[in-house]
Structure 1
Amino acid sequence: MPRTMPETMPNTEVTPAVDSAESEAIESDLPQQYVTLRGVRTHNLKGIDCKIPHGKLTVISGVSGSGKSSLAFDTLYAEGQRRYTESLSTYARQFLQRMERPPVEAVKNIQPALALRQKNDVSNARSTVGTITEVDDHLQLVYTHIGETICPTCETLVGRDTVPGVVTAIEGMDDGTRLILVAQADGGENKHRHAVLKHLVQEGYRRLLIDGEMVDITESDIESLLDREAFPVIIDRIVVRKDEEMRFAEAVEAAFALGNGRLEVHFYDDMERAPLIFDRAFRCNGCGTDFIEPQPALFSFNSSLGACDTCSGFGKVMGVDFKKVIPNTRLTLKEGVIACLETPAYRKDRSELFDACRDREIPLDVPFEKLDAAAQDFIIEGGKRSKNGKTGKKYKGVRGFFEALKKKQYKTHVRIMLARYRGYDRCPDCKGARLNASARNVRVAGKAIGDLWQMRLSEAKTYFDELELPDDQFARVETLLDEIEHRLAYLNEIGCGYLRLDRQSRTLSGGEMQRIHLTASLGRALTDTLYVLDEPTAGMHASDTDKLMQVLYDLRDLDNTVVVVEHDPEVIEGADYIIEIGPGGGEQGGELLFSGPIKEFRERETITSEALLERQALARAAAATALGRKKQPKDYVRIVGAREHNLADLTVEIPCGQLTAVTGLSGSGKSTLCERVLYQGWKAMKGQGGTDAGAHDALEGLERFDDVVLMDQAAVGRSSRSNSLSYTGAFDAVRKLFAATRAAKQIGLTVGDFSFNTAGGRCETCNGAGTITVEMHFMADIEVTCEDCQGKRYGRRVLDVEYRGKNIADIFDMTVAEGVEFFRETRSLLRKLEPLVDVGLGYLRMGQTTATLSGGEAQRLKLATYIADGRKRGDTKPVLFIFDEPTVGLHMLDISTLLSSLKKLVDLGHTVIVIEHNIDFIAQCDHIIDLGPGAGPAGGQLVATGTPREVANTKESVTGRYLAELLDAN
Structure 2
Amino acid sequence: YEGVVPRIRRSIIGKKEAAHHREAIAAIVTRKPCPTCQGTRLKPEVLKNRINGQNIAQVSAMDLRHVLAFLQQITVPLAADVVRELTTKIQSLVAIGLGYLTLDRGTSSLSGGEAQRIKIAKYLTSSLVDMVYILDEPSVGLHPHDIQLIKQALTKLKDKGNTVLVVEHNPAMIAFADYVVEMGPQAGQGGGTVTFTGSYADLLASDTLTGKWLREPHHWGPERQPTGQLALRKITQNNLQDVNIDVPLGVMTVISGVAGSGKSSLVTAIKAHLQDDYIDLAQAPVGINIRSTPATYLGILDDIRKLFSQANGRVGTSLFSYNGKGACPRCKGKGVTITNMAFMDPVVQTCELCHGKRYSDAALQYHYQDKNIAEVLQMSVTAAATFFADTPAIAKKLANLDRVGLGYLTLAQPLTTLSGGELQRLKLAVELGKQGTVYLLDEPTAGLHLQDTARLLKLFNELVETGNSLIIIEHNLAVISQADWLIDVGPDAGRYGGRIQYSGTPRQSVTVADSKTGVALKQWQQDTKG
Give the TM-score normalised by structure 2: 0.89
User: Displacement, 1:528?
Assistant: 4.0
Letter in 2 for 1:642: I
Q: How does 1:363-442 map to 2 (within 5 A)?
A: 423-442=30-49
Name 2:106's counterpart in structure 1: 504
| Alignment of 1:661 onto 2:254 | yes
- 1:547 paired residue among 149, 159, 181: 149
Instruction: Determine the C-alpha separation between the residues in 2 that align with 1:456 and 1:767.
Output: 50
CA deviations on 1:784-824 (whole Å, 9 max, x unpaired) are 11111111111111122221121222122211101101111
User: Displacement, 1:649?
Assistant: 1.2
Q: How does 1:769-780 map to 2 (within 5 A)?
A: 769-776=334-341, 779-780=344-345
Instruction: Determine the C-alpha separation between the residues in 1 that align with 2:128 and 2:337.
Output: 32
Q: How does 1:91-240 map to 2 (within 5 A)?
A: none
Name 2:498's counterpart in structure 1: 940
User: Displacement, 1:934?
Assistant: 1.6
Letter in 1 for 2:213: A
Gaps of 5+ in 2: 1-11, 17-25
**Does the 8 A contact of 1:662 with 1:929 survive in 2?**
yes
Name 1:580's counterpart in structure 2: 182
| Alignment of 1:470 onto 2:69 | no
Name 2:230's counterpart in structure 1: 637
Instruction: Determine the C-alpha separation between the residues in 2 that align with 1:504 and 1:468.
Output: 27
State the SS of the aligned residue for 2:285: coil
* CA shift in 2, pair 1:537/1:126, >3 Å: farther
**Does the 8 A contact of 2:142 with 2:258 survive in 1?**
yes
CA deviations on 1:810-853 (whole Å, 9 max, x unpaired) are 12221110110111111110121111111111111211111221
**Does the 8 A contact of 2:312 with 2:367 survive in 1?**
no
User: Displacement, 1:922?
Assistant: 0.6
User: Displacement, 1:523?
Assistant: 4.9
Letter in 1 for 2:404: V
User: Displacement, 1:744?
Assistant: 6.5
* CA shift in 2, pair 1:663/1:582, >3 Å: same
Letter in 2 for 1:650: V
State the SS of the aligned residue for 2:32: strand
Letter in 1 for 2:157: L
* CA shift in 2, pair 1:472/1:590, >3 Å: closer
Q: How does 1:846-885 map to 2 (within 5 A)?
A: 846-867=411-432, 870=433, 875-876=434-435, 878-885=436-443
- 1:535 paired residue among 130, 137, 143: 137
**Does the 8 A contact of 1:763 with 1:794 survive in 2?**
yes
* CA shift in 2, pair 1:825/1:440, >3 Å: same
Name 2:171's counterpart in structure 1: 569
Instruction: Determine the C-alpha separation between the residues in 2 that align with 1:447 and 1:126.
Output: 36
Name 1:756's counterpart in structure 2: 322
Instruction: Determine the C-alpha separation between the residues in 2 that align with 1:482 and 1:800.
Output: 70
State the SS of the aligned residue for 1:923: helix
Letter in 1 for 2:192: G
Name 1:833's counterpart in structure 2: 398
Instruction: Determine the C-alpha separation between the residues in 1 that align with 2:509 and 2:292.
Output: 42
| Alignment of 1:844 onto 2:409 | yes
**Does the 8 A contact of 2:65 with 2:94 survive in 1?**
yes
Instruction: Determine the C-alpha separation between the residues in 2 that align with 1:891 and 1:954.
Output: 29
Name 1:716's counterpart in structure 2: 286
| Alignment of 1:823 onto 2:388 | yes
Instruction: Determine the C-alpha separation between the residues in 1 that align with 2:392 and 2:457.
Output: 26
Instruction: Determine the C-alpha separation between the residues in 1 that align with 2:439 and 2:138.
Output: 26
CA deviations on 1:421-448 (whole Å, 9 max, x unpaired) are x832221111111122233233344432
Letter in 1 for 2:115: M
How many residue pairs get aligned? The number is 508
* CA shift in 2, pair 1:645/1:732, >3 Å: same
Instruction: Determine the C-alpha separation between the residues in 2 that align with 1:486 and 1:743.
Output: 73
Instruction: Determine the C-alpha separation between the residues in 1 that align with 2:374 and 2:15.
Output: 41
Name 1:897's counterpart in structure 2: 455
**Does the 8 A contact of 1:586 with 1:844 survive in 2?**
yes
Letter in 2 for 1:728: L
CA deviations on 1:433-469 (whole Å, 9 max, x unpaired) are 11222332333444322222212233334433x2423
Instruction: Determine the C-alpha separation between the residues in 2 that align with 1:927 and 1:635.
Output: 13
Name 2:471's counterpart in structure 1: 913
Name 1:678's counterpart in structure 2: 270
Instruction: Determine the C-alpha separation between the residues in 1 that align with 2:97 and 2:106.
Output: 17
Name 1:315's counterpart in structure 2: none
CA deviations on 1:586-636 (whole Å, 9 max, x unpaired) are 33322221012334334323221222221xx23x2x24x32xx5x4x3411
User: Displacement, 1:856?
Assistant: 1.3
Instruction: Determine the C-alpha separation between the residues in 1 that align with 2:385 and 2:95.
Output: 45
Name 1:190's counterpart in structure 2: none
**Does the 8 A contact of 2:328 with 2:358 survive in 1?**
yes
Instruction: Determine the C-alpha separation between the residues in 1 that align with 2:62 and 2:13.
Output: 21
Instruction: Determine the C-alpha separation between the residues in 2 that align with 1:734 and 1:459.
Output: 60
- 1:560 paired residue among 142, 154, 162: 162
Gaps of 5+ in 1: 1-122, 128-320, 322-418, 682-698
**Does the 8 A contact of 1:538 with 1:888 survive in 2?**
yes
User: Displacement, 1:521?
Assistant: 4.2
Instruction: Determine the C-alpha separation between the residues in 2 that align with 1:644 and 1:473.
Output: 39
Name 2:310's counterpart in structure 1: 740
State the SS of the aligned residue for 1:768: coil
**Does the 8 A contact of 2:386 with 2:395 survive in 1?**
no
* CA shift in 2, pair 1:573/1:678, >3 Å: same
Instruction: Determine the C-alpha separation between the residues in 2 that align with 1:125 and 1:447.
Output: 33
User: Displacement, 1:708?
Assistant: 1.1
Larger Rg: 1 or 2? 1
**Does the 8 A contact of 2:232 with 2:244 survive in 1?**
yes
Instruction: Determine the C-alpha separation between the residues in 1 that align with 2:127 and 2:357.
Output: 42
Instruction: Determine the C-alpha separation between the residues in 2 that align with 1:823 and 1:526.
Output: 55
**Does the 8 A contact of 1:493 with 1:548 survive in 2?**
no
Name 2:295's counterpart in structure 1: 725
- 2:377 paired residue among 784, 806, 812: 812
Instruction: Determine the C-alpha separation between the residues in 1 that align with 2:146 and 2:156.
Output: 16
User: Displacement, 1:666?
Assistant: 1.2
State the SS of the aligned residue for 2:31: strand
CA deviations on 1:34-70 (whole Å, 9 max, x unpaired) are xxxxxxxxxxxxxxxxxxxxxxxxxxxxxxxxxxxxx
Give the TM-score normalised by structure 1: 0.50
Instruction: Determine the C-alpha separation between the residues in 2 that align with 1:807 and 1:557.
Output: 55
User: Displacement, 1:717?
Assistant: 4.1
Instruction: Determine the C-alpha separation between the residues in 2 that align with 1:739 and 1:731.
Output: 12
Q: How does 1:286-365 map to 2 (within 5 A)?
A: none
The alignment-based identity, stated in percent, is 37
Instruction: Determine the C-alpha separation between the residues in 1 that align with 2:397 and 2:227.
Output: 34
* CA shift in 2, pair 1:460/1:725, >3 Å: farther
Instruction: Determine the C-alpha separation between the residues in 1 that align with 2:328 and 2:68.
Output: 55
State the SS of the aligned residue for 1:668: coil
Letter in 2 for 1:458: R
Name 1:289's counterpart in structure 2: none
User: Displacement, 1:778?
Assistant: 6.3
